[in-house]
A and B are shown apart, each in its own frame.
Chain A
Amino acid sequence: MSDRGEFGLPLDYLEWQQRFASEFFAGREAQPVVMFVDRDDLSRLSEPGEDPLRSLSSAVRQVVRTDGRSSMFPDIRLAESMWRSGDRSQPPPTLPVLAMSVLAASEMRRDAKGARHNYYIRLAAALLPDGSEAEVDSVRHTLREQGEFRHVAEMWRQIHQWLEDSDGAFGRSTIPESPDRSRIGYPLSQALIRRSDRAALTRFFDRLYLDHDGTPSPEALLELLKVWTRHRSRGFSDRFVEVLDEPEVQGYLCPLIHDLAVAWDGKVVTAEGLRRLELRLTLDLERGRAWWVIPSTPGMPGDIVSGTVGATSFTALLTPDRYNSMFSTEGLPAVTPESLSAGISARGEHCVAQFRPTQFFAMTDSPDAGGWTSVEAIQAYEEHVLIAAPEVRKTVEKAIKRAADPGWRRLGDRVTESMLGRGYSVYHSVVFSDPEALGQAMDTLPARLASDVHLGVTARPRFVLGLPLHRNLSPNTYMTGGEPDLELPVGAEARDVEVTLDRDRSQVFRATIFPIQFSRFGPYSFGDHTISADGEELTFVVKESSGGAYDPPGMGELSWQDGRLVPAGEAPAVCGAWTDEVEDPPVVLARRGSLESWLVDGSGRTTPLAEPQPPTHLAEFPSMYFEVRKDSGAWLLQKRTADWQAVELQPTEPAFGGLTPTDRSVWSEAVDSVTSDNAQWLSYVAAWMDASRER
């Protein structure tokens, strides 16, 4: 027998205890803990040369009796009891036993022999990997028929309680408090999501825009995940995709995935916990150049990654660029037909950058990449460049002809070959704005090609476009008339979704990449409105404006100076129609339609003034005034139907003299008619009185 250690447990057992403690709880503070274990995990946790399963089962058998006696777990229960009476600053010493119970749950689908419901035979076989059939069946009988498994269930309850009592210091429990169906629900709940599935979930969460839109309800989340994975593995294990549709595990799966979504840290990772980066193909169609770019992700430091393309190795340096959404890269391989058809994977200390080979690529214009860059999915109304591998060229071109708006072109073979090698086809100016045509074209694609053509990027219903207000303050407030569109997640096969507006108007829509324009269904009253779809209820608020007290940010921040557009802060010379030297026209406005108009100078002499033609560009409006230059005299006198009007032009001291009979007639009528206390006018009246007396 091995030496003994803490709680009187064998050292071999404690070694596995330590391995699992580190595996499950290290660095998991406040994170959901899933105690998943399968044979791959055991191999990873074992020493080189160690037989993982036999090593673990041997260690466990030192504390669990498998000799056919009715009581299997007294030793480990005693150890757990000792642990309970201590400070419980470390996990309970039952981890290898619990891991063994999860291992058995994870193996329930590995062969036909282990029927889904016969969990206990799998657990017995795991405990006795070299046991005879009779020995295995004896242990199974003890576990199930004699109810010994209840002690394992109690260990699950204990570790759940310990996690709860530790207040998240070791992570948050995802163990159900009381499984719906049976005691095996405890290990089963932990066997549903393996590491690779957990990693694939981060990509799903990324497409849920959790930061912006919040976390859907557990039930809605599961439904959305089903749409996301329908006929596309998206990196999930087959078993995971399978159990999504199994009603008996959904009670465990729903809260588990929800917990993981709530706790997600915004990082898309690989199964090893490395950040998952995408290598994207980028093309400059004008210059005939192709290269790789890697979009950076928040919080991701630089890295040195290494990989191979065919027989050639490469090492590349990735450096974050604070002014660009792409990493600055050095050393990435050239784009070759081989790299396109076989894909690239480069691994570093912090990340894995991958390019997944496909027969078909969609690209959109990316200023940060400096060209057209491959994207995950085709988007409605966006201009795309599409690339088809030689073997699907004819099919793709036929589909584009059928589905794309007129105006698309195929790039010349010479330029295409200089970028991608022989055989590829590049189509540019491709826009899809006809839902029906795109649907028909998709229906005609062969299955393999169709699986490479992804439509839409969202994994949940969400609002897009519209005319949002207060975007930095409130995520879903829109201007009246600018209500948002609803984008639905698009699965690999056609599906109809019932969409309900304000809980009382329902309509079924086909889920496509073409968003539903809800502004067409208005007018909407100001205030809250809801849209329900795919089990989610989204709310948007309609407002007339952003509010009088709100200063729209950036208003006037661009202006002209010395013929250059400059940012805010510099003294503007021109901003819109405003200039820093306001030029007030040196004119006064005179009414049109007078019987007579006369300009008068300081000597009192008059000159008839003809009304100019009205402006032609404003012919729709009444032209009430015309302009008279201020320097054209001292006064404008206008005879109207009922009276005379005197309009001052520019201040001039009166010095009457040399008046003609016409001047006298004008003055005589005007002075009798005009009523004004304007001092300048009164001085002219006095001058006229003097002049008339002198006559």
Chain B
Amino acid sequence: MSPPGWTPRVNADLLLAWMSETGSGSVRDLRQRIAWAARAADYSPKQHETGRWLRDISTLGHAEVDWDLGRWAATPSSAAVLPASGGTAVLAGSRRVGLAERLEELVSVNAMSPPVSDDAPLAMPTALFVQADSLAELRTSLEAAGVRYAGCSARSIAKKLQPIQPGASAAPPARTDAVEQLLPGSARPKFAHGLPKGDGLCRISVHGRPSYLYRWNGAWHHTDHATGILLDRANRGVDVIRFRAERTTAHGRVGVLFVDQGTPLPPLQARSLVLCSGLPTQFGNSAATAIYRNVPEDIALLVADSIHQKLHVIT
């Protein structure tokens, strides 16, 4: 699925194994080691690319990342059953040395190298898919290998999604702050200097890092990058999410979900969607969209609801 002649720009399996053997640590330290592993593969990554790699690792459920506190922690090994995929489950979380070999003795294990894109050039760990003759047998075998059976995580996470909303009340930006506003008209979210005239999203710098404030009904609130942009899009009635059905299954239609690039999804929304296929978010370079595959329509609806979007179905 990767371009011909492409070589991995990082040994992602080694990094995930190391994260699993290490347990937890600081984000800064981990990003240095991601960059180190990339250099060992003769690629000098840009600063944002190591952050992107870690966000994708978190979206796949391998680790949780607290960006505010600068901490990461691997998650215990689990297997998420993919919806409408004949009982296939994807392995998530800790992947300590020897785990794959133990599983191979108990269930059928298939490996796939996730594709890379220009936006995310650092390879993701090999996706490991497990299958058994029945879900009951799968569950028993997983537990024997020390892997928690998580059922259909995509759907159970989607059901837990909280509707996005502005955060705690905040003071307006100070006069001395260099304020940027999210431009209301542009198709792709873009910031420019100045305060918004009405409600809208602002970006300021706190201790040299971007911080986001959202003005809603005239009152200022704290928010984060993803939530702020999605609130802005929703309030302006801008559709950012589209669904195209590919097939019909026992549980209804299953297809591809497209999300406009530049409107990042909050972590759990993104995780719910990538656990439909077990593969990281893909990006369409021409259409500038994030692509999630094998998404049942009911999960797409739950995600859309949580970000105050109507699910626009395309044919």
Q: Spell out A's residues near B (CB within 8 Å).
A: 284-288, 365, 367, 370-372, 381, 383, 405, 407, 431, 433, 465-467, 469, 471, 479, 481-482, 485, 517, 519-520, 544-546, 548, 550-560, 562-563, 565, 573-579, 581-585, 587-589, 592, 612-618, 620-621, 623-629, 632
Tell me if A371 and B207 are in contact (CB < 8 A).
Answer: yes
Are A285 and B208 in contact, with the CB atoms below 8 A?
yes
Whether the pair A579, B18 counts as a contact (CB closer than 8 A) is no
Contacts A555-B24, A555-B76, A576-B93 given: A482-B249 contact, CB under 8 Å?
Answer: no
Q: How many CB-defined contacts (below 8 Å) exist between A and B?
A: 253
A621 to B, closest residue via Cβ: B110
| Residue in B20, B24, B205, B250 with the greatest tally of chain A CB atoms within 10 Å | B250
Could you say which residues of chain B place their CB within 8 Å of the CB of A559?
64, 75
A553 touches B18 (CB 8 A): no
Instruction: Write 27 A-B pairs (CB below 8 A) sorted by A numbering.
Output: A285-B208, A286-B208, A433-B39, A467-B18, A479-B17, A482-B18, A517-B36, A517-B40, A545-B96, A545-B98, A552-B24, A554-B24, A555-B20, A555-B73, A576-B75, A576-B76, A577-B92, A578-B75, A578-B78, A579-B151, A582-B149, A582-B151, A612-B249, A615-B84, A617-B277, A624-B86, A627-B250
Interface residues on B, range: 35 or more
Cβ 8 A contact of A581, one of B74, B156, B293: B156
Cβ B86 vs Cβ A623 within 8 A: yes
Nearest CB of B to A666, in Å: 20
Inter-subunit contact A624/B131 (CB<8 Å): yes
Contact of B151 among A285, A544, A585, A615 (CB under 8 A): A585
One of B116-124, B157-165, B228-236, B307-315 contacting the partner: B157-165
Contacts of A285 in B (CB 8 A): 208
Residue of B nearest to A547 (CB): B21
Instruction: State whether the Cβ of B301 lies closer than 8 Å to any Cβ in chain A.
Output: no
Residue B166 lies at the interface, judged by CB distance under 8 Å to chain A: no
The smallest beta-carbon distance between B22 and chain A, in angstroms, is 6
CB-CB under 8 A for A585 and B152, given A465-B33, A613-B247, A616-B294? yes
With beta carbons under 8 angstroms apart, the residue of B17, B32, B129, B275 that contacts A577 is: B275
**Residue-wise interface mask of B (85-114) relative to A, using a CB-CB cutoff of 8 A (1 in contact, 0 not):** 111101011101110000000000010100
User: B176's closest neighbor in chain A, by CB?
Assistant: A287
CB-CB nearest in chain B for A465: B36
Taking a contact as CB atoms under 8 Å apart, the answer to whether B205 and A286 are in contact is yes
Instruction: Pick the residue among A548, A579, A615 that contacts B156 (CB under 8 A).
Output: A579
Top 9 A-B pairs, shortest CB-CB distance: A554-B24, A552-B23, A576-B75, A286-B205, A563-B162, A370-B207, A577-B92, A558-B64, A545-B97
Closest to A589 in B: B87
Q: Which residues of A contact B25 (CB under 8 A)?
A: 554
How many whole Å from A619's CB to the nearest CB in chain B?
10
Instruction: Verify A618–B129 contact, CB threshold 8 A.
Output: yes
Q: Assess the A466–B178 pair: CB atoms within 8 A.
A: no
A369 to chain B, nearest CB (A): 8
- In the complex, the answer to whether B71 meets A284 with C-beta atoms within 8 Å is no
Bound: A559/B271 CA distance, A: 13
Contact assessment for A365 and B208 in the assembled complex, using a CB-CB cutoff below 8 Å:
yes
Whether B192 sits at the interface, judged by CB under 8 Å, is: no
Are A287 and B66 touching (Cβ within 8 A)? no
A612 contacts which of B17, B110, B247, B268 (Cβ < 8 Å)? Answer: B247
- Among B80, B156, B246, B251: residue with most chain A CB under 10 A: B156
CA distance A583 to B18 in the complex (A): 30
Contact of A582 among B18, B70, B156, B267 (CB under 8 A): B156
Which residue of A370, A407, A617 contacts B279 across the interface (Cβ within 8 Å)? Answer: A617
How many Å lie between the Cα of A431 and that of B87 in the bound state? Answer: 48
| B160 in contact with A573 (CB, 8 Å) | yes
User: How far does the Cβ of A152 sit from chain B's closest Cβ, in whole Å?
Assistant: 57
Q: A372-B208, A555-B73, A578-B148 are in contact. Are A587 and B18 (CB under 8 A)?
A: no
Q: Who on chain A is nearest to B275 by CB?
A: A577
The answer to whether B21 and A469 touch across the interface, beta carbons within 8 angstroms, is yes
Closest residue to B35 on the A side, CB-wise? A381
B32–A574 touching, CB < 8 Å: no
Cα separation A628 to B96 with both chains bound (whole Å): 34
Does residue B153 face the partner (Cβ distance < 8 Å to A)? yes
B154 to chain A, nearest CB (A): 9
For A367, list chain B residues within 8 Å (CB).
Answer: 28, 70, 207
Contact (A587, B250) CB under 8 Å given A482-B18, A555-B74, A617-B294: yes
Could you tell me if B94 and A284 are in contact, using CB atoms closer than 8 angstroms?
Answer: no
Q: Which residues of A contact B155 (CB under 8 A)?
A: 583
B63 at the interface (CB under 8 A from A): yes
CB neighbours of A372 from chain B (8 A): 208
Name A576's contact: one of B63, B129, B178 (CB within 8 Å): B63
- Please, which residue of chain B has its CB at the minimum distance from the CB of A483? B40
A582 surroundings in chain B (CB, below 8 A):
149-151, 156
Q: Is the beta-carbon distance between A584 and B135 smaller than 8 angstroms?
A: yes
Please, which residues of chain A bring their CB within 8 A of the CB of B219? none
Partner of B61, one of A519, A551, A576, A624: A576
A579 and B157 contacting across the interface, CB-CB below 8 Å: yes
Contact A556 B131 (CB under 8 A): no
Q: Are the CB atoms of A627 and B249 closer together than 8 Å?
A: yes
Report A-chain residues with C-beta under 8 Å of the C-beta of B149.
582
Q: How many whole Å from B35's CB to the nearest CB in chain A?
A: 6
